[in-house]
Amino acid sequence: MKKLFTSSILLFAVALYVSADTDKDIKAGLKHVTVYPDRAQITHETSVEIPAGKTTLKLGGLSPYIDAQSIQVKGYGDFMILSVNHQNNYLENLEELPEIKTIRSQIEALQIKIEDEKAAISILKEKEAFLVANRAVIDKKTTFTIEQLKSVMDLYTSNIDQTTMTVLKKNRLIKDYEKQIAVLQKQVADRIGKQQLPSGEISVAITSEKTITGKLTFAYVVSNAGWYPSYDIRVDDITKPVNIFYKANVFQNTGVPWKDVKLSFSNATPWVAGDVPILYPWFVDFYNPMPIMIRGKAAGIRSEAPAAMEMASDKMMMAKEAEAAPISIEKQVGETTITFDVALPYSVASDGKIQTIEIQRTATPAEYKYVTIPKMTPLAYLTANITDWAAQSLQSGEATLYFENTFVGKSYLNVNQLTDTLVLSLGTDNSILVKREKQKDFTSKKVVGTNKTEIYSYLITIRNNKANPVKITLSDQIPVSSNSGITVEPVELTGGRLNSQSGQLRWDLEIKPQETKKIILTYSVRYAKDKTVILE
């Protein structure tokens, strides 16, 4: 009876052991990363041996910046996923960056050199002690001749001098090594911070009726990563299309390097709420402003900052060979988003540094026009007007400009506009000369009765020194009266179009090669002679 009772207990314990949860650590390779403007979606994939019963699979070594609500786990096989949990394991730190490992190796090498130098110094100190001891023996002997004594003293002096200088040099080397170690240790401290990052961990509880081989995919969103667009805009000649090189600048500091993964760049904004906003009633009432105490003179303040533009000119040599082709990119246009899939795998270190990848290259037909505002600056700006820009899936970003194989400066590509034509500024062209000067003979001030009349006249000269004809838009202005006592009238506009509400003037000109065109702008301002109007 006792044996039967013992056997029952053993069988019950075995049954409990078999039915108990089994924890199993797994590894899943990083397969794909979709980078958004300020975060990234990570995808892992793995095959795993699943025993019969209930098992908890743990995937560790992940980024600590996982958005827990974004975790998706999919299983493929004859098993069932019961639950998915996420936590940061503070008992396990992420693997150090390769850069930090390299620095630590340099520190260890320097420490070994210091040990070697210290060992050499110990040997030299022993040699020095031996020389000093033998000098005491020499002092006690009196049978040395003068020649023998001189020879022995020379030998002692040369050896003690050599030993002392060698020890001094080695001590200096040790100090230099210690300084290098301090610099490297500071670099390590700057990179890992006060403490290392914890390890992210995803636990998946599954159950299976039998032992099988299944497949799992993990997808989640992490912060501390993103990308932004930039462009190289190149125009070889105003008779040729605009070449737009679309680049993605990717960065990540998630704590885990992305090694040889497929990258995709998306313009989606998953952090923006997807719910349609509600338009609530708009109630209005009388506004009763509170008195505001202003220190100093209570007067309207007008601040004007003249626009300025710096253009650099840096010659760029062009190779005679054909330009290298970009990597293969597949563009997927959805209902609300656009995604660029990079064909080749990339590695992006977790150091926050920018890595630039070209994702699109297009040659776009454009209408080239020059724009000049001589009242502001005597420069002519080349612009490219693109009509089918919406089909290129561009985003707003910084653009580097190249014209006729020369770097001409930087601009900003703004696609947030409601017009059919995208205007790209390609910098200035020194072959177009512009000059605006006041004609003193036609500028005057007259007083007739109670009124004063001021007449201003300007001569605008534009010359085309290029070998091709150009189209140029000239803009200027005349003042606009905001008082019924002031009357402004255009006298001579040389065919310019006037916007009476804004006072802006526009001339659309076509200038042949080596041709000079002259525009006369004259206007008058009449007001009461006892008043003052500032016109210059």
Q: If we measure between CA atoms, which residue out of 24, 81, 19 comes closest to residue 49?
A: 24
Q: How far apart are CA 105 and CA 97, in angstroms?
A: 13
- Half-sphere CA count of 280, side-chain side, radius 13 A: 2
Asked if 506 contacts 474 with a C-beta cutoff of 8 angstroms, the reply is yes
Residues 6+ away with beta carbon under 8 Å from 275: none
Asked if 410 contacts 397 with a C-beta cutoff of 8 angstroms, the reply is no
Give the SS3 label for residue 525. Answer: strand
- Give the per-residue pLDDT at 391: 73
- Give the per-residue pLDDT at 319: 40
Q: How far apart are CA 43 and CA 47, in angstroms?
A: 14
As a whole number of angstroms, the longest Cα–Cα distance in the chain is 138
Which CATH fold topology does 21-94+197-222 show?
Jelly Rolls (2.60.120)
Q: How far apart are CA 202 and CA 25, in angstroms?
A: 10
Q: If we measure between CA atoms, which residue out of 215, 222, 292, 218 comes closest to residue 255?
A: 222
Domain residue ranges of the chain, discontinuous segments joined by +: 21-94+197-222, 98-192, 225-271+326-430, 433-528
What DSSP line would sit under 77-107, residue for residue?
SS-EEEEEEEEEEEEEEPPPPHHHHHHHHHH
For residue 466, give Cα distances in angstroms to 243, 281, 429, 477: 22, 61, 10, 27
- Give the per-residue pLDDT at 464: 95
Cβ count near 201 (within 10 Å): 19
Q: Which residues of the chain fall below pLDDT 70?
A: 1-21, 91-98, 131, 133-156, 190-196, 271-275, 283-327, 334-336, 418
Tell me the pTM: 0.63
What DSSP line would sit under 124-139, residue for residue?
HHHHHHHHHHHHHHHH
Query: CA gyration radius for the chain?
Result: 40
The architecture that CATH gives domain 433-528 is Sandwich (2.60)
Q: How far apart are CA 104 and CA 260, in angstroms?
A: 25
**Neighbour order of strands in the sheet with 198-208:** 22-26, 53-62, 198-208, 80-93
147: left (phi over 0), alpha (psi -120 to 50) or beta: alpha
Q: If we measure between CA atoms, which residue out of 241, 446, 449 comes closest to residue 362?
A: 241
- Which long-range contacts link 166-170 to residues 24+ away (Cβ below 8 Å)? 166/120, 166/124, 167/121, 167/124, 167/125, 167/128, 170/117, 170/120, 170/121, 170/124
